[in-house]
Structure 1
Amino acid sequence: MKWLTLAFLFFGFNSCVESQEFSNSNQPQESLSDEELLDLIAYKTFLYFWEGAEPNSGMAPERIHMDGIYPDNDEHIVTTGGTGMGLIGILGGIERGWISREEGFQRFSRMVSFLEKADRWHGIWPHWLDGKTGKVKPFSQKDDGADLVESAFLIQGLLVVKAYFENGNDGEKELALRINRLWREMEWDFHTNGKDVLYWHWSPNYGWEMNFALEGYNEALIVYVLAASSPTHPISPLAYHKGWARAGGIKANDSGAFGYRLQLKHNGAELMGGPLFWAHYSFLSLNPNNLKDDYADYWLENTNQTLINRAWCIDNPNGFKGYGENLWGLTASYSINFYDAHRPGNDTGVISPTAAVSSIVYTPKESLKVIRNLYKNFGEKVLGPYGFYDAMSPEHDFFPEKYLAIDQGPMVSMIENYRSGLGWKLFMKNPEIQQGLDRLGFTYQVPQ
């Protein structure tokens, strides 16, 4: 019956249609309810990870450009982190009847088979892989090996998939065991390099030369949670408290704006918070509801960061066209200077739809205003076959028909978390994750 409803939303008649036919209609329907609108946007964004997937690996392409023009001809390059971010959205597709459970199982099996054979070092994948061969595609000269952060984004999604299938039929149980094997092979402790902190990169050719320590606060909280939760290669809690939390230096004094307080020092953006993906990436699976430690209440932190971001756009100190209650949201995305980590204080007049859409868990009414405005008033300029395009700007008449996996994934997965809590429930019921959170001194919500 779901397909009948969706067909009606797009075509105004009550008959089943093929998914490709369904995805091609972007004309606004005036009478959509909020739930119907979320159905539409979630489904289209899901298609990025379903129909848009790289054929051999089943993984998410780093980017999809509707003009077919790719830098370095990299249309076959897949992203580890971006793939992980969309996995909850694929599970949501099963739950909502967009694909069958068997179809989802087969896709996840293809991904896992690819990842088992793909380049890894100490169990950690690189940022980019060639979807045809499984060989590393260097992100930069020295970023040609293990990427701990992107691998964390990948495995957090895979652990949700594991929980979804682990009590299923024999084939599904075997898939869960294979994911568990990948999880157990990840050597988180290696990435401390013998110190009380985690390091982002290790290269088989350059070792630790990039020397990028993961110190908070930014998007990488999930890395420490997973590293502390590892059943085989856990880190010491000291790495979290002395490294990530900077021996307490992560706590903010007098930070915040527009009447909203921030508890943490956002790296390089202490007063008004960083780009909004800092409130998204770590929390696609890690439930921020009632999540607290010695440094912050993470629901309050993420909500206030979102509200500051929104208030900045409404205040609009630069007078950019279109900004307001119905058009806000600054985060990393394509931009007028190719790519930029937009945030309050670094605002080029470019709105990234993923910012408000992925924040729907924190600001549902405010985010829905943006979704409806984009859908109703901008239409095909911002909405394509795989959901909202990556960026837009009325100020600069900038409407690129381009997608990035790391922005599509949070949208489809956070919409599902807002509607059902699916990803949060499955991840948080993992006893290893609970043990890791306990080790780091968190209190958290146990799923019922």
Structure 2
Amino acid sequence: MTRTAAVERTLATLRFFWNSPQGPEPDATGYRGVYYHFLDIQTGRRVWQCELSTVDRAFLLAGALTAGIYFDASSGDETEIRTLADALYRRADWQWAQNGGATLTHGWKPESGFLPYRWEGYDEALLLYVLGLGSPTYPLPEYSYAAWTSTYRWEHVCGQEYLHAGPLFIHQLSHIWIDFRGIQDAFMRDKGIDYFENSRRATYAQQQYAIDNPLGFKGYAKNCWGITASEGPGPENLNVDGIDREFFDYVGRGVPFGPDDGTLAPWGVVASLPFAPEIVFATLHYCVHEAKLTVTVRPAHLPARTDRSDPYPASCQRCGSNSAMRR
């Protein structure tokens, strides 16, 4: 894509979000600078009675601010990108999303108000709280971040001591936008590491879990791992090799406390490359040259490799470990 084409696409996106309907009406696009989780592809308005999503708002704003930094030319279009990115960030009301509490809520619906859930425990909300603290208009108070980190769980599992979160993506997502090397909050200073090192340890924990393979899935090994939130082959219960197995559809699979139904997501391995290249490259070599992660047709299920008897043999090729392959 040329820079000119990228500018046009970015500008169209930012203009849409800035000019889209904002208000408490049930068919708006957003409210108080927060946007609905799902929007109609034609109208750009809310669908499926979904919620205003605080964390998805954070991803949107992080992308907009990144675009504002990247497009640094003095042309009118690139100047407008920077202006709109800043305006979208300034419009987001982080304090409203607290709903009177210390931590941030997951979201809000016009029919019923705020969702009963809050962003607590270590998760992808790291980016959410950082952006909220830095807001030039509606900043989160410092106690909000402290309240969030007070819900952290430091664990010693799979040969690693680290700030635990089960799904691998949690240890990756916020790092897309922020280089956490050398950055410590009070929690990490007390532990003597930073969030980047924490993600490295979480990656090694994933590999060790596959080596230990406590549930006895075929194929799990030193170079075959990657358990995270992903689609899967379920929901279904099957007896595989004399063992009753429960398979899930989309779920936040995690290590070591589960759920684990034998579904591996190779993209989770790829996204671990910045943290532990010494084990990721070997795993990718295995996936490409030994497991041969390919499919002959695109099945209904999306991106994972699952250890189970395959009820759709015409849809999938078999890898060396006799596991079904899906993407």
Query: Is 1:235 paired with 2:132?
Result: no
Confirm or deny: 8 A CA contact 2:122 2:153 kept in the other structure. Answer: no
- Alignment counterpart, residue 57 of structure 2, candidates 141, 144, 151: 151
Per-residue CA shift, 1:126-155, capped at 9, x if unaligned?
A: 1111121111123xx5xx332101110111
Query: Is 1:135 paired with 2:41?
Result: no
3-state SS in 2 of match to 1:256: strand
Query: Is 1:285 paired with 2:162?
Result: no
Matching residue of 2:35: 125
Per-residue CA shift, 1:305-329, capped at 9, x if unaligned?
A: 1111111012212221222122111
Residues 383 and 289 of structure 1: is their aligned pair in 2 closer, same or farther, counting only changes over 3 Å? farther
Rounded to whole Å, the distance in 1 between the matches of 2:73 and 2:166 is 40
CA drift of 1:370 comes to 2.3
Name the aligned partner's letter for residue 221 of structure 1: L
1:6-405 matched pairs, under 5 angstroms: 99-118=1-20, 119-138=29-48, 144-208=50-114, 210-242=115-147, 244-246=148-150, 249-250=151-152, 252=154, 255-262=155-162, 264=163, 266=164, 273-296=165-188, 297-336=194-233, 337-344=248-255, 345-346=257-258, 347-379=260-292, 381=294, 390-397=303-310, 398-401=324-327
Residues 172 and 256 of structure 1: is their aligned pair in 2 closer, same or farther, counting only changes over 3 Å? same
Confirm or deny: 8 A CA contact 1:350 1:391 kept in the other structure. Answer: yes
Name the aligned partner's letter for residue 56 of structure 2: E
Q: Which ranges of structure 2 fall in alignment gaps of 5 or more residues? A: 21-28, 189-193, 234-247, 311-323
Rounded to whole Å, the distance in 2 between the matches of 1:164 and 1:392 is 36
Aligned residues: 282
Residues 315 and 275 of structure 1: is their aligned pair in 2 closer, same or farther, counting only changes over 3 Å? same
Rounded to whole Å, the distance in 2 between the matches of 1:280 and 1:303 is 10
Name the aligned partner's letter for residue 280 of structure 2: S
Rounded to whole Å, the distance in 1 between the matches of 2:11 and 2:296 is 31
* TM-score (ref. length: structure 2): 0.80
Name the aligned partner's letter for residue 12 of structure 2: R
Rounded to whole Å, the distance in 2 between the matches of 1:109 and 1:383 is 38
Rounded to whole Å, the distance in 1 between the matches of 2:286 and 2:296 is 11
Rounded to whole Å, the distance in 2 between the matches of 1:357 and 1:288 is 19
Rounded to whole Å, the distance in 2 between the matches of 1:192 and 1:343 is 28
Rounded to whole Å, the distance in 2 between the matches of 1:115 and 1:372 is 41
Name the aligned partner's letter for residue 308 of structure 1: A
Confirm or deny: 8 A CA contact 1:197 1:213 kept in the other structure. Answer: yes
Residues 338 and 250 of structure 1: is their aligned pair in 2 closer, same or farther, counting only changes over 3 Å? closer
CA drift of 1:169 comes to 2.3
Rounded to whole Å, the distance in 2 between the matches of 1:260 and 1:382 is 35
Residues 383 and 366 of structure 1: is their aligned pair in 2 closer, same or farther, counting only changes over 3 Å? farther
Which structure is richer in relative contact order (CA contacts within 8 A, separation 6 or more)? 1
Confirm or deny: 8 A CA contact 1:165 1:172 kept in the other structure. Answer: yes
Whichever structure has more helix as a proportion of its residues is 1
Name the aligned partner's letter for residue 237 of structure 1: E
Residues 120 and 100 of structure 1: is their aligned pair in 2 closer, same or farther, counting only changes over 3 Å? same
Confirm or deny: 8 A CA contact 2:133 2:140 kept in the other structure. Answer: yes
Per-residue CA shift, 1:335-378, capped at 9, x if unaligned?
A: 12211211123211110112111111111121122222222234
Q: Which ranges of structure 1 fall in alignment gaps of 5 or more residues? A: 1-98, 267-272, 402-448
Matching residue of 1:23: none
Matching residue of 2:191: none
Confirm or deny: 8 A CA contact 1:382 1:392 kept in the other structure. Answer: no
Confirm or deny: 8 A CA contact 1:192 1:199 kept in the other structure. Answer: yes
Per-residue CA shift, 1:36-87, capped at 9, x if unaligned?
A: xxxxxxxxxxxxxxxxxxxxxxxxxxxxxxxxxxxxxxxxxxxxxxxxxxxx
CA drift of 1:251 comes to 5.3
Rounded to whole Å, the distance in 2 between the matches of 1:203 and 1:235 is 21
3-state SS in 1 of match to 2:273: helix
CA drift of 1:186 comes to 0.7
* TM-score (ref. length: structure 1): 0.59
Confirm or deny: 8 A CA contact 2:207 2:223 kept in the other structure. Answer: no
Rounded to whole Å, the distance in 1 between the matches of 2:96 and 2:80 is 28
Over the matched positions of the two proteins, sequence identity in percent amounts to 29
Rounded to whole Å, the distance in 2 between the matches of 1:396 and 1:238 is 50
Confirm or deny: 8 A CA contact 1:117 1:134 kept in the other structure. Answer: no
Rounded to whole Å, the distance in 2 between the matches of 1:311 and 1:168 is 50
